[in-house]
Structure 1
């Protein structure tokens, strides 16, 4: 049996390590006791909707743990669950939950990117859903102060229009990290690694609200664990390669002008703008390239459909090739 979180062999739905991380060691089944959202039960689900993503079609619901069960809740939610989006406009829509789960696992297991605890679970009719544990809750149930970079940049629909989440560059996120994070250098490197990762897996929706700072007990602000990572290219193949521009003037480089997409030198230039030495940036890019086989193995062993496995692999191989060209 595969652990529903980390894919490793397990005697139970969740291995001991993932059970502790997700559920504090309590044995929770990976199958929920209720049906996936559909027309007859949608009013009940709508009470627990938190927000939308993937161009406004992916609904999120709030869950909390009650003894050994996960139940829908209107308050005191401890988990967010994302079922298969109710859309006919996206490709491979049934693979959306596993897409996000797989991408988060690749980020953490292969590239050592700190991520929110997550897993794949199933409704009682067998339909899959992505679940993640909220990281903004203290042990007493109160929330840590958390702000995403749209808030930090004061970008809203009223001030910047409907596309306000995309009205910035990743360099602007870096500038705010320098301003608000005491340990800025490692946080800037974490940002760089996450931006490169999103580019490699084809996440064209890594916008301002998908990066956040959180205030810990010490009062210091830090980058939150990564969240909302997925290969959106699987579902919207004609979208742009990246949600935000790397930095001002990045579309004017020789490589971009010749190819119409970012390459190795563009990311090295971006790293320098963040204050990361070229040698260090080169080393990080080479790590992503050298771990290609491990990434392919994770994709092949995932629960994606065979067609989505093939498409996901092609996206990653194409992006790694771009980053390999010197």
Structure 2
């Protein structure tokens, strides 16, 4: 369940309110899947550590949520909170996800379009085109490394901080889905005519970048940076972060199965 909220001066979150400069989305524990708040928080922190732009995020004790509806929640202690990047001084900043941009219905969010088309749109229309496609490349690689099979059209957005032209929004909804989907092996969308994490390599990204019309070296340097930082930082960070131990074990095994280019 997702709820709009604001953070009050005392640090508590008021569910259902969305009227001040400190607006957040609260995601409560799932009644279907275990420890989703810890999973998402960990995945987002790992992404941040390798250069993915993310909003402010927190794990919030359920006892710190005011006006939480009387819903049946599992016996878990924390919700996941992410600060709204589409709010400033209590005002909305216009954003669009790529299902809206491509005029795709929700039930078609995994179909019709691919990661090349998202990048082409950013390269054509963003006011910081090269920077945005480089950031997208980082996120694509991070989704492979984190076994996130849910980066579909609605989980990629642009934001109009410039009134005339958009830029890629901060990342959101990065989750390691493999612990919840046994045997999962695929991206949400095609990239270089491939959807399999374990077949993806540097050549896949080279094909992707050339189809987008991007100089490969301008992309490659960012992928190398992600891998250097992931190999250096992630093993230690994963030990420290709150992800469930079983999920950590699944993620480590996933790392060991990736192509040599991306193996940790």
Determine if the TM-score, normalized by the shorter chain, exceeds 0.5.
yes
- What TM-score does the superposition give when structure 1 sets the normalisation length? 0.70
**2:141 aligned residue:** 196
**2:177 aligned residue:** 232
Q: Which structure: larger Rg?
A: 1
Q: Which runs of 5+ in 1 are unaligned?
A: 1-58
Q: 1:268 Cα deviation (Å)?
A: 1.8
**Residue deviations 1:69-127, cap 9 Å, x none?**
2111154371111121111xx4xx12x1111111111111x212111110111113861
Q: Which runs of 5+ in 2 are unaligned?
A: 64-74
Q: 1:244 Cα deviation (Å)?
A: 0.5
The reply to whether residue 314 of structure 1 matches residue 259 of structure 2 is no
**2:71 aligned residue:** none
Q: Which of 209, 221, 227 is equivalent to 1:271? A: 209
Q: Which of 48, 68, 71 is equivalent to 2:14? A: 71
Q: 1:282 Cα deviation (Å)?
A: 3.2
Q: Which of 73, 78, 84 is equivalent to 1:128? A: 78
Quick one: structure 1 residues 126 and 135, their matched pair in 2 at CA, closer, same or farther if it must change by over 3 Å? same
Supply the RMSD in Å over aligned alpha carbons: 2.4
SS at the partner of 2:232?
helix
**1:300 aligned residue:** 239
Q: Which of 121, 124, 132 is equivalent to 1:179? A: 124
**1:137 aligned residue:** 87
Q: Which has the higher strand share?
A: 2
Quick one: structure 1 residues 260 and 294, their matched pair in 2 at CA, closer, same or farther if it must change by over 3 Å? closer
Correspondences of 1:52-201 after superposition (within 5 Å): 59-68=1-10, 69-73=12-16, 75-76=18-19, 78-87=23-32, 90=33, 93-94=34-35, 96-108=36-48, 110-124=49-63, 127-139=77-89, 141-157=90-106, 162-201=107-146
Quick one: structure 1 residues 122 and 319, their matched pair in 2 at CA, closer, same or farther if it must change by over 3 Å? farther
- What TM-score does the superposition give when structure 2 sets the normalisation length? 0.85
Quick one: structure 1 residues 166 and 99, their matched pair in 2 at CA, closer, same or farther if it must change by over 3 Å? farther
